[in-house]
Each structure stands twice: as C-alpha cells, then as structure tokens.
Structure 1
Amino acid sequence: MEFINPFAIFVAAVASLIVGFIWYNPKVFGTIWMRESGLTEERLKNGNMAVIFLLALLFAFMLALALPLLVVHQTSAMSLVNGDVTTAMPSFHAFMDDYGDSFRTFKHGALHGTLSGLFIATPILSITALFERKSYKYVLVNCGYWMVTLCIMGAIISGWH
C-alpha cells in the first residue's frame, strides 16, 4: 500500500509558488509586503530570478516531503515497521485494513496544513520578525501566506493518494 503519492508531493511544491505569485502580487499583498520589508522595485529587479525560483521550488519540495508526517496519520503507523510492511506483524495489517484510508481527505489535510501554519510557521516567522523589528503588517502578510500555502499543500498531500 502506497501512502504518499509522489506526484502529489511535486504538485504541492509547485502550488506554493502559485500561491506566492498570487499572494505577493501588487494587487493583492505585494505592495504592503514590499513597503513593510523595506524593498523597492529596483532592488527586487537586481536578483537572479531563475536562481531564486529554483531554490524556492527546492525548499517547497523539501517542505512537501516533510508534510506527510503532519497531515497523513498513516505515516506514523508506517514508522512502526520502518516502512517495510512485509515484516510487519499481523496486528499491523489488521490495523491498516481497518484504518488505512481514514482521514485521507482534502478537507482533513487542509485542516492539518492550516494548523501547521498556525502552530509552526507563524511562531517561527513571528519570532524572527520581532528581532528584526518588523511590523505587524509584515508578520500578517507572511504568516497569512504560509497558512494558506500549508493548507493547500496539506490538502493535496492528504487527499490525493
């Protein structure tokens, strides 16, 4: 039984970039983000966008690989047998027969993705912003992005199996 769809991992990673294109667009939150970050159009144009987007995709892929531990309950059961179901005891197979697809929905993945954004991404970004003396608007824009992004990524990873 395959618990994680590799294509879903890839699509979840790409989804983070798509959400970013929308979220940080000047007509959405981009203007606020630029002002609160202290960035200018000139400074943004000076970056190597190919490298930036390739690295962003790489990091999003890494995040998508870690998300199943948070959004797919069955990954915990698989860890009990080190991923090798051929050596698992009959009780493991009975458990998986009963609960193998439980909570594997887009809705449940979205819930856990959102909770990951709220309880993992938000504290990390907020602590950093406090020490960088960033404004509450900066925190709201960036934390909002990660809550929406992790919600979508979690939905894709949990629901698409």
Structure 2
Amino acid sequence: MEAYYNLIAMLVAAFSALVIGSIWYHPKVFGNAWLKAAELNDKQMKSGSMVKIFGLALLFAFMLSTALPGIVIHQVGALSLIGGDPTQALASYDAFIADYATNFRTFKHGALHGILTGIFVVLPVLGTNALFERKGAKYIFINSGYWIVTLAIMGGIICAWK
C-alpha cells in the first residue's frame, strides 16, 4: 500500500499547486483578468492574513493530493478490491500485482487522469458555484483552467513517483 500512497509525492504535489498558482494568477498571466472577473481590487487582495491563506491553501492541496492516488494509479483499484490489506488477499492478487505493478505508472498517464478530473469534477463544481455567485464565463474558465493544469501536474507527480 505504501507504494501507492507516497507521502513525499503527495507533499510535492501539494506544493506544486502553490507554485502553479503563483504563475497562473500572476498579473502578466491571468492575474489581472481574474481580479476583474472576481470583482476584487488591490485593497481587498492586501487584506487578510497571507500566512493563513497560503497555509490553508497548502493544507487543501495536500488533502486533494491524498485523493489522487485512487484516481491516477490503477493498482489502487486492485488494492481496494481486496479490502486494502494485501496480506489477506488470495494468491491471484499477488500474481496480478507481479504482472501489472508498474503498468501505467508514468507522469503522462497521471497527468491525463488529472486533466480528466479537472474537466469532469472541478469544472462542474466551480462552474455551478460561479453561476450562483453571478460570476461570468471568464471567472469560471480562469479558475477551472488553473485546477485542470494543477491536477495534471499533481496527478503526474503522484502517478510517476514510485
């Protein structure tokens, strides 16, 4: 089970969300467009505790990274079929893992599943919230775009790190 739930990979993936965010929301990328779409100004952006904001953002990204192995690593599905304890599995499980333990364990494959998660989970959730908040399409696509790219990178890191 440890091979699929790698704490270091999950921490690196969580930290990558902050790195990507610092680029994505930079004024020269999407930052200014996001501020306008979010109906925020510089004064509002300077309010609040940045330690609290970034600390919670990192915590939330880590929480997300703990869910990603089940999405981006196919072998976690096999592990779940036996109740999560390989010592209680039939011999066929060991044979299966011996044959397929590293199949699809690449950055590219994890990124693909991260992108799909972003499109089919995050976009509908953020889009629904934004509609009720009366935000426009630009707001939805800037924020969802960030999460699609971020989940691609996070998924790639988690899937490839063995």
Q: TM-score range by the shorter chain?
A: over 0.9
> Aligned partners of 2:14 and 2:28: how far apart in 1?
24
1:103: which partner in 2?
A: 104
Query: What pairs up with 1:65-84 in 2 under 5 angstroms?
Result: 65-84=66-85
Letter matched to residue 77 of structure 1: A
Q: Which runs of structure 1 show a deviation greater than 6 angstroms over 4 or more consecutive aligned residues? A: none
Letter matched to residue 133 of structure 2: E
> Aligned partners of 2:137 and 2:79: how far apart in 1?
41
For residues 67-93 of structure 1, give each alpha carbon's deviation from its aligned partner in whole angstroms, at most 9, with x where no partner exists.
111101011111122222112100101
Query: What pairs up with 1:1-161 in 2 under 5 angstroms?
Result: 2-161=3-162
Letter matched to residue 66 of structure 2: L
TM-score, with structure 1 as normaliser: 0.97
CA RMSD, aligned part only?
A: 0.9
How big is the shift at 1:47?
1.1
How big is the shift at 1:129?
0.9
How big is the shift at 1:4?
2.7
> Aligned partners of 1:127 and 1:47: how far apart in 2?
26
- The more displaced of 106-115 and 79-88 is 79-88
Unaligned runs of 5+ in 2: none
> Aligned partners of 2:55 and 2:4: how far apart in 1?
27
C-alpha contact 2:5 2:66 (8 A) present in aligned 1: no
Letter matched to residue 97 of structure 1: A
For residues 79-135 of structure 1, give each alpha carbon's deviation from its aligned partner in whole angstroms, at most 9, with x where no partner exists.
122222112100101111111111000000000000000000000011111111111
> Aligned partners of 1:53 and 1:135: how far apart in 2?
26
Identity of aligned residues (%): 54
